[in-house]
Structure 1
Amino acid sequence: MVYLTRVEHFNAAHKLYNPKWSKEQNETVFGKCANEHWHGHNYELFVTIKGKPNPDTGFLFDVKQLSKLIEKYVLDKLDHKNLNLDVDFMQGQMCSTENLAMAIWQQLQPHLPAEVSLHCIKLYETPRIFVEYYGD
């Protein structure tokens, strides 16, 4: 089994705020992330696929094609957007990095060819905080 990772970058704003809770409880749990005026991150996205290399090309999958899929189904929807307001696949859920990584998986998985599969979504919110998601 070969693993291939493509690294991408996007910027997005969000707010962590549970509407069922009081402002005080949100601030206690989420701190500065509950800021009513939002806050942003410079996200680093690592998309790892797995499979066996094609004997004719030696490639697991064309990385240019992988980049185009990530751009179309993820980056175009997330980059320079407000995750809470602008991103259809984040509507109705907390816009945490954990939920965002799972949602990115759901956006990409159906568009990969049968000969490869998604192995991991690694999403850095900051240089010291990241989430890894390996599917259900």
Structure 2
Amino acid sequence: MAERVAYITRVQSFSACHRLHSPDLSDEENKKVFGKCNNPNGHGHNYKDVYERMVVCLQIDAETGMVMNLTDLKRYIEDVIMTPLDHKNLDKDVPYFAKVVSTTENLAVYIWDHMVKELPEGLLYEVKIHETDKNIVVYRGE
């Protein structure tokens, strides 16, 4: 029988606030670049974090019928995303963002970098974050 490969997706939502502000720009430049998202008090999102095709090019195990146990994947998501990010101020509560602008692009990189350390090697394919219904970021570790 030919090797069977499957991609699995787990969707997880979390809420967080942040302020788009670069220390490399003046206050005026930050306001120009980030607009209302540069509000000194920040703003919030209900992020929908989609791990689309999170597991890539893995053979379906003949004994279990799975690529990986979804209970394990759920635990990794809890440890990497929910505990450190949910209901947090990204800029103040997550040390990574003390020196990195908390854009959704950088949030995707943060999640990738931390998730790839937890998952078995070669499993993570893509992190997709829906910041809003219209703004979506996809990161594949590139």
Is the pair's TM-score, using the shorter chain for normalization, greater than 0.5?
A: yes
**Which of 7, 11, 35 is 1:7 aligned to?**
11
- Which residue pairs with 1:83 in the alignment? 90
Cα shift readout 1:22-78 (whole Å, capped 9, x = no counterpart): 222111110010000110000001122222111111101111110111111221000
The one of 3, 17, 20 equivalent to 1:16 is 20
RMSD: 1.2
SS of equivalent residue, structure 1 residue 41: strand
**Aligned pairs (5 A) from 1:44-83:** 44-47=48-51, 48-50=54-56, 51-83=58-90
Letter in 2 for 1:129: N
Relative distance call for 1:90 and 1:22 in structure 2 (3 A) is closer
> In the alignment, what sits opposite 2:137?
131
Runs of 4+ in 1 over 3 A off after TM superposition: none
Q: What's 2:101 paired with?
A: 94
Q: Deviations over 1:4-26 (max 9, x none)?
A: 01000000000011123222211
Q: What is the distance in 1 between the residues matched to 2:97 and 2:77?
A: 17
Q: Normalising by the residue count of structure 2, what TM-score does the alignment of the two structures yield? A: 0.90
Distance in 1, matches of 2:95 and 2:72, equals: 24
Unaligned runs of 5+ in 2: none
Larger strand share, 1 or 2 = 1
1:31 corresponds to: 35
Which residue is equivalent to 1:105? 112
Percent identical: 39
